[in-house]
Each structure stands twice: as structure tokens, then as C-alpha cells.
Amino acid sequence: MRRIEEAFAGARRHRRAAFIPYLTAGDPSAKVTLDLVLALERAGADLVELGVPFSDPLADGEVNQRAAARALAGGTTLAGVLEIVRRIRDRSSIPLILFTYVNPLLRMGMEPFARAAAGAGVDGVLATDLPVEESHDYRKFLLSCGIAPIFLVAPTTAPARLPAIAAACRGFVYYVARTGVTGERQGLPPELREGVERLRETTSLPIAVGFGVSTKSQVEEIAAFADGFVVGSALVKAVEDAGARSDLAEALSRRVREILPEGYGRSG
């Protein structure tokens, strides 16, 4: 949890929003995921979201669904994702957030999962389909292990629920830029800034915006009013397009450079 706080504080010191890339763990393999996360860190990532592949990913668009299917076909499990985290942690201190559905956590058991995730080096967990009103035990076990529970706020979230969601979060609050599933889009919704500002009235935590962020102009627009931005499908698609090529990590880094504004990130 401390690493998440330090990452956002570091971005603020540099007067920029935190860059949070997303990858599906295990796509195309566990070993390559390790290499890709290290490449993202070199390219300027402040935190990294690792998607836990799941057979019924309702919040994900076609690109992320295909990545999850490839990872599952390769034998990736929740325990395998935690092993990937453990290997990353041997090489890097970058904050790692698991982006998951609640079923895999229930299958492992909430308390065993929290202990295993903490032992591996996970900093935060976002269970996309777990309502905050049903998350008491989930949050209790994560917090007891020093892991930040992170929740989604959508444009359709009732204003009356915002204080409870914000109060349940640690590290940051994830604001969904648009209704629907993940995936690249041409533009940002005109009401996005207003939604983030409405959420900011309920919390002092950083707010990161994700879902559909895939171009430099979108990043520049979001960075003007949010504390972080998540880029997912555009990078997962780069991994898909590169396939088994030996220069996959470099291809991913090139895609990052296309998306980040000039001079953004640690090494451009």
C-alpha cells in the first residue's frame, strides 16, 4: 500500500499524472509477462495493473477477452499470477495492482488469498464485480495484510454511493471513463471531467481514470484533472499483434512512447 502512495506522490512532485499500464498476466506466458512489466517500468510506468485471466470477464472488451483466453489456455491461474508477482518483486519495487473478478478470489478463499498476495508482493486489488456494500470481509482481510482495496466508480454510479465507495478505497479510486466495457475509443466523454470532480468532493485519495484511454491527446486531457490514467487495451493489443516475436518487449515500449506525451515518463 505504501508503494502506491509513494508512486502518486512522486508523480505529483513531477507535476504529472501517474501512468498505470495494464497487462493480462500470463499472456503470452508467465516469463514474458515478467519481461513486459520490467519494460513498462523502464518506459515510465508508475504502477502496473495485472489482469487475472477469468473465463467470464464481463467488464472487458474483445481485446482483453482474447488475452484472458490465451492466458487461460496457457494454464495461468490465480496462484500462477501470484507467482508472476513474486518473480517481478525479485526484480522491481514498482507497485502492482491485481485487476480481477471476485470468483477466483472466492475459490481460493478471501483470507488465504490476502495472505498469499501479501507474501507475493501485491500492493492493491481491484475486484471489478464486487459491490462495496458486500465487501466487508474482502476489505478486512486485504487491509490486515497491508493490501489496498480499490473500487470502481462509473458514470452511472449513484451520487449517494460515492462517499461509501471512496471511504472503502485505499491507495486510489478508479474512475471508469465511460459506460460499457474496456477497449480503445476515439474520444473521451464530455462529462468525464465533471464526473471526476464530483468524485473528488468525496475523497482526498488520488483518482485514476481508465477504460478506453489509448491516445496521447486523451492522456493530456485526463492529466489536466485526474491524478492518474490507466492504459489497457491499447497495450494488450500491442502484445497480441507482436505475438511470439523476440522483440515483443521493445514493441510494447514503442506503443507506450506513442501514447505518452512528449517528455513524459522516466525514460520517454
Q: Which positions are annotated as active-site residues?
A: 49, 60
| Cα–Cα distance, 82 to 25 (Å, whole number) | 9
Spatial neighbors of 263 by CB under 8 A, at least 6 apart, are none
Tell me which amino acid residue 76 is: T
Classify burial at 11, counting beta carbons within 10 Å of its beta carbon; exposed 0-12, middle 13-18, buried 19 or more.
Answer: buried
| Cα–Cα distance, 40 to 146 (Å, whole number) | 25
| Cα–Cα distance, 83 to 133 (Å, whole number) | 30
**Residues 235, 258 contacting (CB under 8 angstroms):** no
Considering only the C-alpha atoms of the chain, give the largest distance between any 2 of them, rounded to a whole number of Å.
50
DSSP code at position 207: E
Q: Which long-range contacts (CB under 8 A, 24 or more apart) does 237-242 make?
A: 237/63, 237/184, 239/23, 239/24, 239/27, 239/28, 239/36, 239/67, 240/27, 240/63, 240/66, 240/67, 240/70
Classify burial at 212, counting beta carbons within 10 Å of its beta carbon; exposed 0-12, middle 13-18, buried 19 or more.
Answer: buried
Neighbours of 100 (CB within 10 A): 24
